[in-house]
Amino acid sequence: GDIMYLLMGDIYPEYNEKRIGISNQLVIKAISKATGIETKKIIHEWRVIGDLGRVAEKFTLHKKQATLQSHVLTTEKVLENLRKLPELEGKGTVNKKMGLITELLTSAEPIEAKYLIRTLIGDLRIGIQESTIRESMSGAFFDRDKQASKKIQEAIDKSNDVGIVFEIARKGKLKELEKISLEVGKPIKAMLAQKVVTIKEGFKALGKPCAVEYKYDGFRLLIHKNSDKISLFTRSLENVTNQFPEVVGYVQKYVKGNSFILDSEAVGFDKKTKEYKSFQKISQRIRRKYNIEKLQKELPVEINVFDILYYNGKSQLDEAFEKRTKILRKIITKTPYKLIPSKQIITSSEAKAQEFYKKALEDNQEGVMLKNLKAEYKPGRRVGHMLKINYIKYF
């Protein structure tokens, strides 16, 4: 299963926050040490080729010193060394990292050196996507059965872990894949919308009636609660719980339920005028890891909850949106400028939807979302049953 991570250019499942975090400079030094070629020459070659992986491949081929400690590289050894890299801290870290990388490079064949270096710098360049892996599993273990592809995708969506899915799929048991479920506290990818230009076009695609909601100019926040533990994740699966202590408080206070996963948008506002601010004005709240108290006073956020993926022990992914939106509106105590359900109307009227869209723009938001009432929640997918209409300036 671990090989799946390497195929995706990683060493852990996607939800894992540990990153290799190696600079190009360190990689250049390691190539130099392993091949005996001076760094100046490596940098020159890199400028010409534009790919450190291919540079490593070239110089491994011309290795000046035939090293005595050459072994056959195994994926176990590669992962063992690479997984030590994020753990290293403190004095002498750079030299230890260098040692781990050089050990692999001196044992590597030229083509192995190429992909090893690309893995280290996070740029594998082989065009393998999740869909490639899904179809490969379906072909290898289920004779390309359409149903199997669907089940494999659902299992990947729920677990965010191609390694685990591979281990189950290789046994050829579809029923086992169905047992993979959402885990509260483990980040999940957000569902994404497709674009349309007009309300009319949106209604045509989704049918009537449909839900029309504000499209907020903030940042996506997936909120997990498991009894007393609350975690907040961004769209890119980064844990930002520590940056938003007040949001943790809002969730405890204004959302009923023992365990849940909510999909929301955090929107900044001016604390004096209560006017909504653009994402750019509050983006530093995600990035800053210090002065949290000062920042939360200067750049307050309101949490606008628009979907629920899991509630009190039960996944809601397969439930219709109209049911999910009812649940979330029932469990939230609407508290403006802290935590509220997203602004929403359910309508068949283009005129009403247009009016609502104008109101969203007046409130400094980006536009509106149109949602099919019968649709499921598809993590990580850009779906045709949720459409966004952004404000377009016509010059």
Q: Which residues are catalytic?
A: 215
**DSSP letter assigned to residue 315:** E
Question: What value, to the nearest 5°, has the Cα angle with vertex 208 and ends 207 and 211?
Answer: 100
- Identify which of 344, 366, 363, 368 has the alpha carbon closest to the alpha carbon of residue 199: 368
Helix ranges (DSSP H) in the chain: 2-7, 24-35, 39-49, 52-61, 75-84, 93-107, 110-120, 130-142, 146-159, 162-169, 174-178, 199-206, 245-254, 279-282, 284-287, 292-298, 321-331, 350-362
Rounded distance between C-alpha atoms, residue 308 and residue 264, angstroms: 9
Rounded distance between C-alpha atoms, residue 17 and residue 2, angstroms: 16
Q: How many CB atoms lie within 10 A of CB 245?
A: 12
- β-bridge partners, 264: 221, 305
